[in-house]
Chains A and B, each alone.
Chain A
């Protein structure tokens, strides 16, 4: 139905695409960062997602998949408009996104209202599987709380008594540190100081001096991307690496080891994925990813891959009818997802119940040492579903 014959180029923006799509194609909206700090992460998620879809012959729930891509710029103030565009103008059946927690929360708000099927392939904000949880919203990644909680136990088991935490003053950092503190103190340790750096400031020197003066048994940290690189380099340069062990949520050493130039060697981190996992799914996944994109997959690629897998399971149960969210939820909740990270299930709040691995940075990889917390579920505070 061509509603308008205006030939203005801006008409696309104004009126969207109104021509009918082939009846059987399933439109998947990929709302991921293509510019800015998280652009690389968005790319990995997209690769992982497409890899799985290709493995399934380009189909989800028996329907051909058609992608609609949108750069979310990691800007929450544009998020509502962007998700609205995907749902209302591009008329996607499913949305996948995103990395930034604030953007993901805005997306979840709209998806909850419109009932659009949505999978979050990264953002670990407690909002999404907490107060904003909904039958049609799933997360294929983790909650910020999970790696922190797992590491708290590890730190206590290592006999550390006093720990200092340091992170950016923002949601993800606070939730991760909160998880760490919870389990560390349950197991007899004490967080003696919680330090925060204004986000996204990367000047750490003053707080490193403070850490040196406090002399804790260990430091727990949550940083990602450029901040993670700089923090590890500064920590090493300040001479603290040898005297005060540094522990972190996995993002500290994921995709950042090369840039850290060897300074991250030997760091212990916890995450729901690791290199050298001994399972068949992972091996196949890695080979296939390497062949398709000529690079090594990372945790973000896995999350993208599993996002597609969750959709595949859900949509298979309803023959590709993405509007039947209740049935989809039931199918996904009862399924076991065969992820490269190991098999996991989804909780009632639709967050993965998964093993969190303890890893040690070696070269440019993070091989697994042990399972830090098996089948760890997120508390999902505030979820009424």
Chain B
């Protein structure tokens, strides 16, 4: 592998890692703060992708407007879901919540099938971002992928600022450490959870929408990202936004170079990585906080 190819592969892994981060971020939020193991997270990603496809004709085909409308819908969906399905579960065993999210996966997948059907769909890249940049002599890099990476980085930065600079972020961090403490500070924990859940759903759906043009939209797509997202969250340290960021980049690297250098073992590499990291650091790379 010569240097230029190596650099391109590095770019590939960075771009894949950032996309993973975007999907996993909502999961780690919900996971770390509410303690809910949300198996339905992949479904929210899937819902986002299908929204990008289905909403576009309704808003005149403008991709950015679709994003905005979809985001609003996702927030509403998340808010209602928390109210309807999770608000009464916090005092129960965690595994009850797992069961609940499992039920939701089945329901979402069937509702999708009833509403949109089982076809494979594509979403076209918005014109303004449809160009590409030459890399080397045969390869080009699509601008849209760079755009996605930039959005992911911006979001990462935004999350960082929200967490460290705002009152909401302070509440969230406190809430992830100690539920009673937050309540004693006079913060409405129920409201906090609802907001966090809505935010988690919205981020997942946003990830689905924004990756729709580079990916394709097909039944069962949510389940595929679910497990890899859990791997990201766990390697990073549950509840740690920063940890998820680095873990996603790490997985991007391992997956990308694994496919090229160790093709026989590429499927299993990510899991070997996770096992090794957890045996070395049983609480992930970055502890929550």
Direct contact, A vs B (beta carbon within 8 Å)? yes
Q: Report yes or no: A261 in contact with B218, Cβ–Cβ below 8 A.
A: no
| Bound Cα distance A239, B221 (Å) | 26
Return the contact of A225 from the options B12, B120, B124 (Cβ within 8 A): B120
Residues of B within 8 A of A212 (CB): 5, 8, 136, 138-139
Q: Is B122 an interface residue (CB 8 A)?
A: yes
Residues of A within 8 A of B141 (CB): 238-239
- Residue with the highest number of chain A CB atoms closer than 10 Å, among B109, B110, B141: B141
Q: Report yes or no: A209 in contact with B9, Cβ–Cβ below 8 A.
A: yes
Q: Report yes or no: B267 in contact with A201, Cβ–Cβ below 8 A.
A: yes
- Residue with the highest number of chain B CB atoms closer than 10 Å, among A198, A205, A229, A237: A205
- The interface on chain B, measured as residues whose beta carbon lies within 8 A of the other chain's beta carbons, has a size of 47
| Bound Cα distance A229, B212 (Å) | 12
| Bound Cα distance A229, B213 (Å) | 11
Known A-B contacts A40-B118, A225-B120; the reply to A233 vs B220 at CB < 8 A is no
Residues of B within 8 A of A196 (CB): 263, 266
Closest-CB distance, A244 to chain B (whole angstroms): 7
Q: Is A260 an interface residue (CB 8 A)?
A: yes
- State which of A21-29, A251-259, A316-324 sits at the interface with chain B: A251-259
Q: Is A85 an interface residue (CB 8 A)?
A: no
Q: Report yes or no: B16 in contact with A203, Cβ–Cβ below 8 A.
A: yes
Return the contact of B221 from the options A205, A210, A226 (Cβ within 8 A): A226
- State which of A31-39, A144-152, A155-163, A376-384 sits at the interface with chain B: A31-39
Q: Report yes or no: B110 in contact with A35, Cβ–Cβ below 8 A.
A: yes
| Bound Cα distance A205, B140 (Å) | 11
Closest-CB distance, B217 to chain A (whole angstroms): 7
Residues of B within 8 A of A234 (CB): 214
| Bound Cα distance A198, B224 (Å) | 12
Q: Report yes or no: A226 in contact with B216, Cβ–Cβ below 8 A.
A: yes
Q: Is A215 an interface residue (CB 8 A)?
A: yes
- Residue with the highest number of chain A CB atoms closer than 10 Å, among B5, B118, B267: B118
Q: What does the 1/0 interface line of A231-248 toward B look like (CB < 8 Å)?
A: 001100111100110000
Q: Report yes or no: A238 in contact with B113, Cβ–Cβ below 8 A.
A: no
- State which of B22-30, B31-39, B254-262 sits at the interface with chain A: B254-262
Q: Is B13 an interface residue (CB 8 A)?
A: yes
Residues of A within 8 A of B140 (CB): 237-239
| Bound Cα distance A12, B112 (Å) | 28
Q: Report yes or no: A237 in contact with B267, Cβ–Cβ below 8 A.
A: no
Known A-B contacts A209-B8, A213-B1, A215-B138; the reply to A39 vs B16 at CB < 8 A is no
Closest-CB distance, A291 to chain B (whole angstroms): 20
Closest-CB distance, B56 to chain A (whole angstroms): 12
| Bound Cα distance A225, B215 (Å) | 12
Q: Report yes or no: A230 in contact with B215, Cβ–Cβ below 8 A.
A: yes
Q: Is B117 an interface residue (CB 8 A)?
A: yes
| Bound Cα distance A234, B118 (Å) | 22
Q: What does the 1/0 interface line of A255-277 toward B look like (CB < 8 Å)?
A: 11011110000000000000000
Q: Is B240 an interface residue (CB 8 A)?
A: no
- In the complex, what residue of chain A is closest to B130 when comparing beta carbons? A237
Residues of B within 8 A of A35 (CB): 109-110, 113, 118, 219
Return the contact of A206 from the options B134, B138, B214, B256 (Cβ within 8 A): B256
Closest-CB distance, B274 to chain A (whole angstroms): 15
Closest-CB distance, A367 to chain B (whole angstroms): 21
Residues of B within 8 A of A326 (CB): none
Known A-B contacts A206-B9, A206-B259, A239-B138; the reply to A37 vs B122 at CB < 8 A is no
Closest-CB distance, A230 to chain B (whole angstroms): 5
Q: What does the 1/0 interface line of B184-226 toward A look like (CB < 8 Å)?
A: 0000000000000000000000000000001111111100100
Known A-B contacts A203-B16, A205-B15, A239-B139; the reply to A40 vs B134 at CB < 8 A is no
Return the contact of B256 from the options A198, A205, A215, A230 (Cβ within 8 A): A205
Q: Report yes or no: B260 in contact with A233, Cβ–Cβ below 8 A.
A: no
| Bound Cα distance A202, B2 (Å) | 25
Residues of B within 8 A of A243 (CB): 138
Q: Is A89 an interface residue (CB 8 A)?
A: no
Q: Report yes or no: A259 in contact with B122, Cβ–Cβ below 8 A.
A: yes
Q: Report yes or no: B139 in contact with A258, Cβ–Cβ below 8 A.
A: no
A residues whose Cβ falls under 8 Å from a Cβ of B: 35-37, 39-40, 43, 169, 195-203, 205-210, 212-213, 215, 225-227, 229-230, 233-234, 237-240, 243-244, 255-256, 258-261
- Excluding A206-B12, A258-B121, A260-B122, 8 further A-B contacts by CB distance (< 8 Å) are A35-B118, A169-B267, A206-B13, A206-B16, A225-B218, A226-B216, A258-B122, A261-B124
